[in-house]
Chain A
Amino acid sequence: MISMSNGLRNCLTLAFLASFSTLTFAVEFDLREGVTDMSQRIQDLHHLSLAVCVVVGIVVFGAMFYSIVAHRRSRHPKPADFHESLLVEIVWTTVPILILVGMAIPATTTLLEIEDNSDPDLTILITASQWKWHYQYLEADIGFYSNMTTPTAQINNLEPKGENYLLEVDNPLVLPTNKKVRFLTTSNDVIHSWWVPDFAVKQDAIPGFINEAWARLDQPGLFRGQCAELCGKDHAYMPVVVEVRLEAEFDKWIDDQRLAKELSSGQAVADRNKTWTMAELMPIGEQVFLTHCATCHESTGVGQGVTYPALAGGEIPNGPLEVHIDLVMNGKGGTEMQSWAPQLSDRELAAVITYERNAWGNSTNDVVQPKTIYATR
């Protein structure tokens, strides 16, 4: 009994292993399924056309091989002499047309959806050049280059090759989940082609022209692709890496990028190096206050009841400076008082805090310097 159950278990294990290996076999030999709705539908289309080809192939090659075996001279010494049949010709012209129509319908509907580039939530301008990609987030006004990071030593076989050999970059394109992301592609020099197999997006980047494509991504992850159009010497060394993040994480990432850009700009550096007077900061602060703060706190600083506290004579603008700076920069959790640090520059923050501490009868005489803000970030 024991040996039998062992045998059964071995059989089951073998069957499991066999099915598993056929599964991996199938995956390795198949078009990638990808992670978008469109990539999956394209895979379905691939399977459909492959199945049609296999069935037609079995019929045609089957007839051929049968004939090769059965109608060889040793078995079939006297050839028949038929050589024409209009009916047969009509049949094997019409039947393929019907099969083709059956393939064209799903191909057409899928294509119409793929080519519907309307209503994007987010637009990325992808500019190719020999041999790197530049990604510009049009809405957020940030952009950066993406270069391959695989070391030359690995390419020249001096070091063992890494897991993502040739498919790794310094700055991946970061995208959010659940948004319709539109890709605009263009080039600065020759024609390239931006391709991420898992998104089923392959779009040529042509100098002087802009092409478009889109993707909607359901799940976070890292996705890798390559330039698909011969673009010169280092065509093989132009990988595409896309990092998909959850929406909230993506928003934070955008803020971080914008801030990093802000902090590194020449204006920001000049602002930090200068010592500002109250007369210089007050008008700037008033402007910032009217734009960003007055909707809640009112232009006269009187606030709106307990929800939006009064600033004129208020506790915070007349209290310790550090507390005030902290509140403006980082906001107050659970309220509509946002974190302003990612949205305003050092100069703007310094000016608006200075303004709040010295307007509407507040008279702390505190002058907040941009470099103080920078240090607090």
Chain B
Amino acid sequence: MRKSLLVALAAATALGCLPAIAEDLITSDRVGPSDAPKKMVFRMTGDGPSSTDPTWAAGYTKLYTDFINNHPGWQLELQMMTGDISQEQARMLEQAKAGHAPDCAAVDSFVLPLFKQAGVLKSLSPYFTKEEIDQLFPFVRDGITGKDGEIYAWWWSTDLRVLYRNKEIVPNAPETWADTKAAALQSVEAGMEGMLFNGSRYEGTAFDWLGNFWGQGGKLVDDAGKPVFADADNRDKFVKAVDYYRDLVESGAAPRRVATIGSYDDLNAAAAASTTALFVGGNWQYRQLENSMDPEEFAKWTFSMLPGITADQRSTGTGGWTVAAFSSDPEKVEMCATLAREIYMGPANALQEQLPTRADLYDKYDVFKSEANQTFAKALKVGQARPGVLIYPEISNQIQIMMGKVLTGAAATDAAVDDAYKAALDAYARL
């Protein structure tokens, strides 16, 4: 009797401890045992176990658990970035220059040139094969490669901008700016607030809109990295693209409140509340809409390539996230590369349906064979990344300021464009 009691007690204790052990392996700021001899600090975005999407959080929890089990003796200290990515990246750059950067971190692809220029990143070339690097899309490979031919980050996901629409109200995909205006006005007649897009002081404002400029063949910078977006060759294209948005607002095809929208969540909210039938958003929002809407409601939504001034002059902005190493410890640099490879290069793409940067991964994972992802992949062919030059953040800043003035009617398009161009040139001269 006594023996069986002891056995029962031991079993109960063991069972009670199991969840505790499982919980202990992943906390909000740590992966792996707290007493592990080796530790790597990883600063990350929401693409991890703390994702706000429960499905993704569960998926990442499993990926990270498997990862740490495969690498005994290691602990990952997780540092979460806030939503203000520009500020987070600037702070991290400052910390890296002072020698206080995390060992490994998520670096937004559009600021990667700044980190490369500052010389704070460690080469990841030894940890990826030539075949793996060659599989990367050319704009991705160029983006991560330094002047010395080494790769300084692993760009694991890319994204693009598309035009979402409610098929019940806008049955056909608008292909031109004129089609878009007509469709938006039609949605206003149906009681909607018109077409929505980011238009406030926010990086997305510039980036989502740039496809309209690039589609006409416009160039932001020349080969030396100098702003040329409003020089003799580009000014007309730039003004036309700005006037497209201006006309949407002035005609009532878009509400003036677009000048206050600075988050893709605002666009999701409007779609979920059925107050809009047309908006410019990112490919990742497709899954977000599915997760936030009833199936019948989600079935009404689809997307198409961003329209152009003509149907054959179309483009879209492509961005994405990289993983880069800052540590001076080669073992941690290798661990960082391993993390990028085992969690982010493929598994995370499949989990979040974030578009991979390697052509072969589209065939490897079934999720990328869906009609939606095939359409995204097709649109990537006209995709264009932001120029990897130091002046880009200031060009973007000036576009955001210009857009605010134009959309609210505070300035004429020509004057606003000229002001933005002059400010960008002045900033370039100071670099």
Whether A and B are associated in the same complex: the answer reads no
Name A residues whose Cβ lies closer than 8 Å to a Cβ of B. Answer: none
Name B residues whose Cβ lies closer than 8 Å to a Cβ of A. Answer: none
